[in-house]
A and B are shown apart, each in its own frame.
Chain A
């Protein structure tokens, strides 16, 4: 079974631009979560989608948004990029978001650099 895939793997953008990152979960998984990982802040939760609905949201400004499609693929968008948005963005999928024991399966991440 194919793992979680994220595209693109690397991205360089300029301040003020916007960016869209994509995540394809493992086949059959309906829950997708997004995280921002930086050396200083560690792993920070952005949001979670389940069956096309946002179920959880972290403490990030409105410039960060996401969506999930009917095939469970998810995108996240960051508008008006700031230097501090440079980070590794991780996507994780899971089978069912309401079983607390569930394991999250992570993608390789998208490395975003804002200059």
Chain B
């Protein structure tokens, strides 16, 4: 069964610095999607970035980028120039492409990111 592990329950970073959140996953599939979602305090969860496994190039969205290491089954999120508004819970999620999986999202436990002013 696929699993997603976020080993850092909490991370803190100084405003304007760079922080990397870790995510590892376990799967026997060769193609799949990986996602990072952000859940700010008392606000709705939103998609930050997504990556398809067969694409070698790491996805980027403005200050957010990923380091996707397929062989190592690692999908870390780098946030550059951290801002106070980045404070949130960050969830890593996996979705297989096989119809057997019913395309269900598998979620990590989340990492709470604290931004120090």
Contact = CB atoms under 8 A, between A and B. Distances in A.
A100 B95 contact: yes
Nearest to B31: A100
A101 B102 contact: no
A104 B44 CA distance: 11
A56 B47 contact: no
A6 B1 CA distance: 31
B102 A55 contact: yes
A49 interface: no
A104 to B, nearest CB: 7
Interface string A38-65: 0000111100100000011000000000
B19 interface: no
A3 B46 CA distance: 11
A97 B108 CA distance: 21
Interface residues of A, number: 22
Contacts, number: 45
B33 A104 contact: no
Nearest to A41: B109
Contact of A45 (B44, B47, B105): B105
Contacts of B110: 42-43
Interface in B85-109: 91, 95-97, 99, 102-105, 107-109
Contacts of B47: 103-104
Contacts of B95: 100
Nearest to A107: B44
A40 to B, nearest CB: 10
Given A56-B102, A100-B103, A90 B45 contact: yes
Interface of B: 32-33, 35, 43-47, 50, 52, 91, 95-97, 99, 102-105, 107-110
